[in-house]
Amino acid sequence: MGPAPPLDSWYAHPMLANNPRAVVTGAASGLGRAIALQLGARGGHVVVCDIDLGGAETTKQLVEAAGGRAHVERCDVAVASDVEHLRDRALAVLGGVDLVVNNAGVAVAGAIGTVPLANWEWIVGINLMGVVHGCHFFVPVLQAQGAGHVLNVASIAGVTFPPQMGPYCATKAAVVALTECLAGEVQGTGVGATVLCPYFFATGLHQTARVDSARISAKQLGSLMKKSKVQADEVARRALQACDRNELYCFPHTEAKVLQLLKRLSPRAVPVLLPRLEQLAKLWRPRARPSSR
């Protein structure tokens, strides 16, 4: 076995094509919009997908203002026929696909046994089956091309599992597992897969969250999201950088890196240390080097 290629070789030969042709679900706002804008800045042609057509049209305009091209498609990722149609429309509009971003997602909170089953079905349909549908219909396209990348958006909640978040954690953990399986299946084919596991940041996810808990509220979730120093634009940039490098995992927040490390070293310590996570993250962050002047 020869030596590993130098790290800068990933930058010289990025996984994503120049002027990438991309499909982004849940792109009417939040992270989906931020990823679409980053792709627009790369000169990309983006199919902007969402059930919110007004927000999707706004994203389209912003992508074009950033230097890219965009096309809007309505798609409910929980419906297989919608995603199949999306694939057909994307191929007609783009002529091929370099990147598929399975980003659409929702949140449900509450204790297991009290969360209504209808809410379980809702979140599984979008967070898990939406990703399954995206992979099912687009991966064969990428394999036939012999090139392309899949970015599945999970969460640090797919790696560490706080109480009262069972439905969300279960679906995001499934996305992590699905992406690991996919990465192994496409290895050596020219196709890659990355799973994004961010910490809290402002996305608007709390606005549609279904919460059945006295211990946590949508307002509290929103407050946590606003505190993050790494927000959607930077999360999107780091996610695409991970795709360029064909990295399997992307933990864009220091807090997420700390949590996944703690989970490996001492799983039982995570619930105890969660309240002190911000302090631990500060210790983890590299300090600025003193000036040489």
Give 73-90 pLDDT, tens digit per residue.
999 999 999 999 999 999
For residue range 145-154, list pLDDT tens digits in order. Answer: 999 999 999 9
Fold of 8-252: Rossmann fold (3.40.50)
Q: What is the pLDDT of residue 273?
A: 59
199 catalytic per annotation: no
Q: What is the pLDDT of residues 155-183, one digit of tens each?
A: 988 898 888 889 999 999 999 999 999 99
* pLDDT score recorded for residue 268: 65
Does pLDDT of 105 surpass 90? Answer: yes
Domain boundaries, the chain: 8-252, 254-293
| Model pTM score | 0.83
Catalytic residue among 11, 168, 199, 249: 168
pLDDT at 108 over 90: yes
HEC profile for the chain? CCCCCCCHHHHHCCCCCCCCEEEECCCCCHHHHHHHHHHHHCCCEEEEEECCHHHHHHHHHHHHHCCCEEEEEECCCCCHHHHHHHHHHHHHHHCCCCEEEECCCCCEEECCCCCCHHHHHHHHHHHHHHHHHHHHHHHHHHHHHCCEEEEEECCHHHCCCCCCEHHHHHHHHHHHHHHHHHHHHHCCCCEEEEEECCCCCCCCHHHCCEEECCCCCHHHHHHHHHHCCCCHHHHHHHHHHHHHCCCCEECCCHHHHHHHHHHHHCCCHHHHHHHHHHHHHHHHCCCCCCCCC
Mean pLDDT of the chain: 85
